[in-house]
Amino acid sequence: MNLAGRRVVLGVTGGIAAYKAVEVCRRLVDAGAHVAPIMTEGATHFVGETTFSALASEPVQTSLWHEQSPIPHTRLGQGADVVVVAPATARLLSAYASGYSDDLLTATLIATRAPVVVCPAMHTEMWEHPAVQANLDTLRSRGVIVVPPAEGRLAGGDVGTGRLADPADIVAAVEQVLGAGTERDLDGVRVLVTAGGTREAIDPVRVITNRSSGKQGHAIAADALARGALVTLVTTASLPAPAGAQVIEVVSAADMQAAVMPIAADHDVIVMAAAVADFRPVVVADHKLKKDELAAASDGAPVIVLEPTHDFLVDLGRDKRPGQLVVGFAAETDDLVTNARKKLERKNLDLIVANDVGAPGVGFEHDTNAVVLVRADGVDQDVPLTDKRSVAEAVLDAVVALRADLHP
């Protein structure tokens, strides 16, 4: 993505996630942005000023009183194309929502007319507190973009919602706010993306599922939005949805089929990134099964009878209308390209994204991926190990190229 010439004020507050703001800063600079960092006093307890001064486009500012200009907040606020706060603590959100200004960052937020992106990070209990949510509602009502936190490991070993969003997603939100990108080469194109692993019920408690996190599908949806697409995201994942996407939440393979098939023909591009279950239990109990109910075999081993789910990707490939593109995914552990090409031909796809999920750092649950893009015209493209947003860009670059062939 390209942010060349855009001025980004990056505010960093005093939370443990401040270390991730270093990566946000680096990515913004790599995208061509001029980054002016502001650190609160609290932030300096977690990350050194020298780190941001070395990586950003100008020295870090920490105070209203430490530079020659008597009004640094006005200079920063008026010169910004966007102000980003990552991480945004509960204290920062409260001060900003109430208009309370007691440091350089809050003064800059109040002094700017540029769009503002806040990226909260805090413990789950704090995130769920009604006062925090009310402050977020107030900020949203004023046009502030909120990049919600992710679920995962928190400080102190806790697990829950409150992790700072992935730096790639934060930069993507900035790009979307500024209308930046390599090109808006999918402007107005209707893109349907599926994401996550389906869950097939055994009883009200137990499910059969897979390790798909939905990160790759969500990254594709985010990049499509940045390119100007009109995006529908059908997902099983509990990840934050990209701002601007129409989101349909589903659980099982049948749910996903019921959501996708009625709207498939309305979309120009369908990207089936979801890991849809191949099998499901024949019978779903209406109560939690006890061990003795499951142990039907003489040796006491549980018996669950499975049946195939319907492979509706076959339907999408068979029924695609002229000019429509259908993209599939193939998670393999051996004979990657051979198996992927067989799947592509059998299902009449235009492109298949194949990954070896047995390789380190690749595919399910990781923030990184390495894929081979296998096209119906016989052209293959290797995408070496990289973050999933970069993989999403490669996938959609291939989609744009294929559309150019269909719509010269």
The string of pLDDT tens digits covering residues 40-93 is 999 999 999 999 999 999 999 998 876 666 678 888 888 899 999 999 999 999
Domain end among 155, 178, 201 = 178
Q: What is the pLDDT of residue 214?
A: 93
pTM: 0.65
Are residues 281 and 163 part of one domain? Answer: no
Are residues 256 and 209 part of one domain? Answer: yes
Domain end among 112, 143, 178 = 178
Percent of the chain topping pLDDT 70: 94
Structural domain harbouring 71: 7-178
Are residues 322 and 401 part of one domain? Answer: yes
Q: Which helix (H) or strand (E) holds 125?
A: helix 124-127
The pLDDT tens digits of the residues spanning 244-288 come to: 788 999 999 999 999 999 999 999 999 999 999 999 999 999 999
Are residues 205 and 149 part of one domain? Answer: no
Q: What is the pLDDT of residue 160?
A: 80
Supply the CATH number for residue 267's domain: 3.40.50.10300
Residues 324, 326: Cα–Cα separation, whole Å? 7
Domain membership flag for residue 185:
no
Residues in CB range of 225: below 8 A, 6 or more apart: 176, 231, 242, 243, 244, 245
Are residues 144 and 55 part of one domain? Answer: yes
Are residues 33 and 73 part of one domain? Answer: yes
E strand residue ranges, 13-95: 34-39, 82-88
Angle between helices 167-178 and 388-406 (to 10 degrees): 40
Q: Are 191 and 268 in contact (CB under 8 A)?
A: yes
Are residues 242 and 159 part of one domain? Answer: no
What's the pLDDT band for 368 if we cut at 50, 70, 90? confident
The pLDDT tens digits of the residues spanning 167-226 come to: 998 998 898 888 754 467 998 999 999 999 999 999 999 999 999 999 999 999 988 988
Contacts of range 60-69, beta carbons closer than 8 Å, 24 or more positions apart: 61/36, 61/37, 61/104, 62/38, 62/104, 63/103, 63/104, 64/103, 64/104, 64/107
Residues in CB range of 148: below 8 A, 6 or more apart: 120, 165, 240
CA dihedral 72, 74, 78, 81 (to 10 degrees): 50
Q: Are 84 and 20 in contact (CB under 8 A)?
A: no
Q: Has residue 295 got a pLDDT over 70?
A: no
Q: What is the pLDDT of residue 303?
A: 80
Residues 403, 375: Cα–Cα separation, whole Å? 13
Q: Which of 92-96, 301-305, 319-323 has the lowest mean pLDDT?
A: 301-305
What's the pLDDT band for 152 if we cut at 50, 70, 90? confident
Are residues 274 and 388 part of one domain? Answer: yes
Are residues 149 and 171 part of one domain? Answer: yes
Domain end among 134, 157, 178 = 178
Supply the CATH number for residue 74's domain: 3.40.50.1950
How many domains does one find in the chain?
Answer: 2
Q: Which of 108-122, 281-295, 374-388 has the lowest mean pLDDT?
A: 281-295
Q: What is the pLDDT of residue 183?
A: 66
Q: What is the pLDDT of residue 302?
A: 75
Catalytic residue positions?
A: 210
Are residues 215 and 340 part of one domain? Answer: yes
Domain membership flag for residue 2:
no
